Homo-oligomer: A and B are copies of this chain.
Amino acid sequence: MNTTIYDVAREAGVSMATVSRVVNGNPNVKPTTRKKVLEAIERLGYRPNAVARGLASKRTTTVGVIIPDISSIFFSELARGIEDIATMYKYNIILCNSDHNKEKEIHLLNTLLEKQVDGIVFMGSQITEEHVEQFKRSPVPIVLSATIDPGKEFPSVNINYEQAAYDAVKFLIENGHTKVAMLSGSLEDPVNGYQKYAGYRRAIEEANITFNDDYVVIGDYTYDSGIEAMEMFLGLNERPTAIFAGTDEMALGIIHGAQDKGYNVPNDIEVIGFDNTRLAAMVRPTLTSVVQPMYDIGAVSMRLLTKYMNKEEVSDEVVLLPHRIEFRQSTK
């Protein structure tokens, strides 16, 4: 049997309430009493039971995190930002992988709610009506992180993906390119697909370049899909001279795909990636990339969530963090 607050109370010759006060740092305890209690705790090796505390207080100091895939270089960095801020505010996180699967997402949401988490950080791709319905039914606050909410109903933390993509493509155009291709994620994916694609289109159209269907390829975010896309681009009659990739990993594939066929980056082809993961510095030539501050997105999401959990006033429900381009050797 584990020692309980009751054992400590008896050992110290005080009531349970007093022990509880000491454990919770309540100042209304006489120093000598506090000392007695602390000694009893030490002697008995008492360890408070957070489950009992959670039941009685209705707060678990635990938050749920639903993430597509923790092994992704992108999300793991985000998760780190979340965890660091959670720790700072004395929360623990329950981490769940959803694999971009809607059923899993909904199921995990309910599991976390059963576990009485005090709040949830949600990362996903699509926010469907069913998501919206479930989110609304949640008794605790939910913050969307690196996830687009079309209805803008829920608090969220993102960068402006459309604008970021626009900036990248515009830079390529200003470098003199008219044959600018894009390796996109699935267009069903609001973040990595649709938004970036929209930015690409806008930049192309504003520059009065005729949109060319062949210059947009849909990849699956992997390195290999970058290589394949590049082979396809190089097979075109009019091969592109600049390429914007939706993620760094695909951009690396693009670069190596070009090099494998004897092309030089950036002289024959300029390449820009997205996310500015550590990979960007680990290629030759090093990769110019749109900086998405992943750690910060996670950290800000968690910070925002703490505000909701504390019922603080929140002025900015939908936050857009700044982005920029980190220029390296894959562009001129």
The chain A residues found within 8 Å of chain B, CB to CB, are 2, 45, 47-52, 54-55, 60, 62, 69-73, 76-77, 79-80, 83-84, 87, 92-97, 110-116, 137, 139, 223, 249, 252, 256, 259, 278-279, 281-284, 295
A283 neighbours in B (Cβ, 8 Å): 282-283
Contact with A93, one of B45, B51, B76, B94 (Cβ below 8 angstroms): B94
A249 neighbours in B (Cβ, 8 Å): 282
A71 neighbours in B (Cβ, 8 Å): 76-77, 79-80, 295
Contact with A115, one of B50, B77, B80, B112 (Cβ below 8 angstroms): B50
Distance in Å: Cβ of A157 to nearest Cβ of chain B: 17
Write 21 A-B pairs (CB below 8 A) sorted by A numbering: A47-B113, A49-B55, A49-B114, A55-B55, A70-B70, A70-B80, A71-B76, A71-B77, A71-B79, A71-B80, A72-B76, A73-B76, A83-B95, A93-B95, A94-B95, A223-B282, A256-B282, A256-B284, A279-B282, A282-B282, A283-B283
A96 neighbours in B (Cβ, 8 Å): 83, 87, 92
Contact with A84, one of B52, B60, B97, B116 (Cβ below 8 angstroms): B97
Distance in Å: Cβ of A222 to nearest Cβ of chain B: 9
A94 neighbours in B (Cβ, 8 Å): 62, 92-95
A111 neighbours in B (Cβ, 8 Å): 92
Q: Given the complex of chains A and B, what is the CA–CA distance between A45 and B283 in angstroms?
A: 53
Given contacts A92-B115, A93-B95, A284-B256, contact A83 B70 (CB under 8 A): yes
Q: Given the complex of chains A and B, what is the CA–CA distance between A113 and B73 in angstroms?
A: 30
Minimum CB distance partner of A277 in chain B: B73
Given contacts A79-B70, A79-B71, A92-B111, contact A51 B116 (CB under 8 A): yes
Minimum CB distance partner of A53 in chain B: B114
A223 neighbours in B (Cβ, 8 Å): 278, 281-282
Distance in Å: Cβ of A25 to nearest Cβ of chain B: 15
Distance in Å: Cβ of A269 to nearest Cβ of chain B: 15
Q: Given the complex of chains A and B, what is the CA–CA distance between A47 and B111 in angstroms?
A: 9
Contact with A76, one of B45, B51, B70 (Cβ below 8 angstroms): B70
A97 neighbours in B (Cβ, 8 Å): 80, 83-84, 87
Distance in Å: Cβ of A268 to nearest Cβ of chain B: 16
Q: Given the complex of chains A and B, what is the CA–CA distance between A76 and B96 in angstroms?
A: 13
Minimum CB distance partner of A248 in chain B: B282
Q: Given the complex of chains A and B, what is the CA–CA distance between A71 and B73 in angstroms?
A: 7
Minimum CB distance partner of A2 in chain B: B139
Contact with A55, one of B45, B51, B69, B115 (Cβ below 8 angstroms): B51
Q: Given the complex of chains A and B, what is the CA–CA distance between A112 and B87 in angstroms?
A: 13
Q: Given the complex of chains A and B, what is the CA–CA distance between A284 and B137 in angstroms?
A: 51
A139 neighbours in B (Cβ, 8 Å): 2
A113 neighbours in B (Cβ, 8 Å): 47
Determine whether the beta carbon of B70 is less than 8 Å from that of A60. no
Distance in Å: Cβ of A75 to nearest Cβ of chain B: 8
Distance in Å: Cβ of A319 to nearest Cβ of chain B: 21
